[in-house]
Amino acid sequence: MYQGKKVRLRAYSQQDVDNALRQVNDYDSVRMSASGIILPATYDDEARWIGQQTAMGHGEYQFAIETLEGRYVGGCGVHKIDWKNRVGQIGILIGDARMRGHGYGSDAIRALCRVGFGEMNLNKLSLTVMSENEAAIRCYGACGFTIEGMLRQEVWREDAYHDLAAMGLLRDEWRGGRER
Ligand SMILES: CC(C)(COP(=O)(O)OP(=O)(O)OC[C@H]1O[C@@H](n2cnc3c(N)ncnc32)[C@H](O)[C@@H]1OP(=O)(O)O)[C@@H](O)C(=O)NCCC(=O)NCCS
């Protein structure tokens, strides 16, 4: 529905369950993107989660990401929306490692920004990312996000604490970036 140069963001369907399950159960994919306890998901867990991602809205707006040729590569979304202050959190996972580094992630984030700013009328999109997640920080940076601060020792993973970088993009900055 929302199309970029390389990917489109579309609704999830039950046909995505196998691919999505493989991706969320790939420890190397999620270790940098989840802050909670990483546990294996079952087919039913994933099918239920996908079933809940309806356009009827429950404060979370999740999209499957597919290439323009129709290959499922991951998911992204806007969640935890603060409607009064017009701030939304975003997240993304290009779950198939072979599909990373080809411009799909940044293209999906740009499309997601069009949804958040151009459609939902948000004023700011925010996220936190593990400070050593260089790929994600570079990717968000390429889309106009800047680091606003560092949250020290926010995540316990692999027997160590990790810092989170808080990143954000304002609507005015997004508009300015589009005009350039
Ligand atoms: C982060 C992620 C979405 C990036 O998507 P991607 O499709 O691989 O990124 P792109 O190919 O669009 O690259 C965008 C920018 O990031 C840079 N980049 C991508 N992978 C990189 C890597 N491993 N190391 C350094 N820079 C990297 C690219 O060079 C590009 O920068 P440029 O525009 O300045 O040249 C993807 O790697 C991913 O899903 N990772 C696992 C989950 C995750 O970390 N999610 C984010 C949690 S907050």
Stretch (H or E) spanning 52: helix 43-52
- How does pLDDT run across 51-94, given as a tens digit for each residue? 999 877 668 899 999 999 999 999 999 999 999 999 999 999 99
> How high is the pLDDT of residue 59?
80
- How does pLDDT run across 22-61, given as a tens digit for each residue? 999 999 989 998 899 999 999 999 999 999 998 776 688 9
Asked if pLDDT for residue 153 goes beyond 80, the answer is yes
| CATH tag for 2-179 (out of 3.90.1150.10, 2.120.10.30, 3.40.630.30, 3.90.740.10) | 3.40.630.30
In a 3-state reduction of DSSP, which class is residue 26?
A: coil
Identify the band that residue 178 occupies on the pLDDT scale cut at 50, 70 and 90. confident
Whether the CB of 135 sits within 6 Å of ligand 1: yes
Q: Could you tell me the two tokens for 93?
A: 């996972």
Whether the CB of 62 sits within 6 Å of ligand 1: no
Residue with the smallest CA separation from ligand 1 atom 3 is 105
SS3 content of the chain, % helix, strand, coil (to 5): 35, 35, 30
> How high is the pLDDT of residue 42?
97
* Cα–Cα dist 134/4, whole Å: 23
174 has which bridge partners?
none
